Amino acid sequence: MTEQGPLIVHNCGYGGGVGAFQSMAINYGVVMANALADEIKRMWRDRHPATTQLWVDVEDAARSAILHPRTAYTAGKITYLSYSGFLWCQLPSGTRLCYARPSIEDAPMPWSTKEIPDIRPCIHFWGVNTMTHHWTKLRTYGGSLVENACQALARDIMAEGMLNLDAAGYRIVLTVHDEVICEEPTGHGDLAEVLECMTRPATWFAGYPVAAKGWRGVRMRKG
């Protein structure tokens, strides 16, 4: 179950279905029947109604913004506005994400079949396909939009912590995903202070459940 934990959180937290679950399972070396993956997905959603509602609210806001350009629509603390050929997503940090040439177009759902078709109006935009690396039209949905917002906010929170570290005199030499590496002389600095710098809440994310852990050693290693 140790390997399945991150898989469940990363997939279910952003609205992934069985197909996405199995695609990620390969990376974690997890073998699971489709029926069990679907059961886990359903159980997770039943236990996290606020998250599933956020997917709906965010998708509704983005869809409304595309259909009504220059009118802002908000879901929680996230705001969408469409103008000048882009769908703009403003986050609580002030960061703006943008989606080029947004549109609402009919498309088959992942579970749609020839015998039982399921065609629905979906959000599309133009961007780089992560598999082919080609510029193309992409489809998105509430869970994916929430993932974009969460990852961007995580970056912004980490950046705030890095500024705190710099102000406290720590020398940042490297970042690896969500890790910050400081190189300090022996006897200088304090791990508790570093963790406080990384989790100190700025005004825009006061109240967010932010935590950090760390270690000190003579050479770099996996945290």
The confidence score (pLDDT) of residue 36 equals: 82
Q: Of residues 37 and 131, which shows the higher confidence score?
A: 131
Report yes or no on 9 lying in a domain: yes
Q: Of residues 100 and 113, which shows the higher confidence score?
A: 100
pLDDT, average across residues 55-76? 98
pLDDT, average across residues 96-123? 94
H helices of 78-216, where? 142-167, 191-199
pLDDT, average across residues 24-36? 77
Structural domain harbouring 136: 50-141
Report yes or no on 128 lying in a domain: yes
Do 34 and 93 reside in the same domain of the chain? Answer: no
| Calpha distance 11→69 (Å, rounded) | 32
Do 101 and 130 reside in the same domain of the chain? Answer: yes
Report yes or no on 19 lying in a domain: yes
Do 128 and 63 reside in the same domain of the chain? Answer: yes
57, 75 Cβ separation under 8 angstroms? yes
| Amino acid at residue number 177 | H
Report yes or no on 15 lying in a domain: yes
Do 71 and 87 reside in the same domain of the chain? Answer: yes
Q: Of residues 20 and 65, which shows the higher confidence score?
A: 65
Do 72 and 118 reside in the same domain of the chain? Answer: yes
Q: Does residue 151 carry a pLDDT above 50?
A: yes
Report yes or no on 190 lying in a domain: no
Among the candidates 107, 126, 141, a domain finishes at: 141
**What is the tally of structural domains in the chain?**
2
Mean pLDDT score of the chain, rounded to an integer? 90
The confidence score (pLDDT) of residue 10 equals: 65
Report yes or no on 10 lying in a domain: yes
Q: Does residue 182 carry a pLDDT above 60?
A: yes
Do 71 and 121 reside in the same domain of the chain? Answer: yes
| Calpha distance 98→88 (Å, rounded) | 5
Do 76 and 132 reside in the same domain of the chain? Answer: yes
Do 55 and 112 reside in the same domain of the chain? Answer: yes
Among the candidates 47, 65, 80, a domain finishes at: 47
| pLDDT-derived band at 189, boundaries 50, 70, 90 | confident
Do 120 and 55 reside in the same domain of the chain? Answer: yes
Query: If you ran DSSP here, which 8-state letter would residue 168 be given?
Result: T
Do 35 and 112 reside in the same domain of the chain? Answer: no
Q: In what order do the strands lie in the sheet with 96-108?
A: 73-75, 78-83, 86-90, 96-108, 119-128, 135-140
Contacts by residues 22-28 (CB-CB < 8 Å, ≥ 24 positions apart): 28/3, 28/4
The confidence score (pLDDT) of residue 223 equals: 60
The confidence score (pLDDT) of residue 2 equals: 46
Tell me: the pLDDT tens digits for 86-99? 999 999 999 999 99
Do 54 and 136 reside in the same domain of the chain? Answer: yes
The confidence score (pLDDT) of residue 1 equals: 46
Q: Does residue 68 carry a pLDDT above 50?
A: yes
Do 34 and 84 reside in the same domain of the chain? Answer: no
Report yes or no on 211 lying in a domain: no
Q: Does residue 144 carry a pLDDT above 70?
A: yes
Report yes or no on 207 lying in a domain: no
The confidence score (pLDDT) of residue 4 equals: 56
Among the candidates 123, 141, 159, a domain finishes at: 141
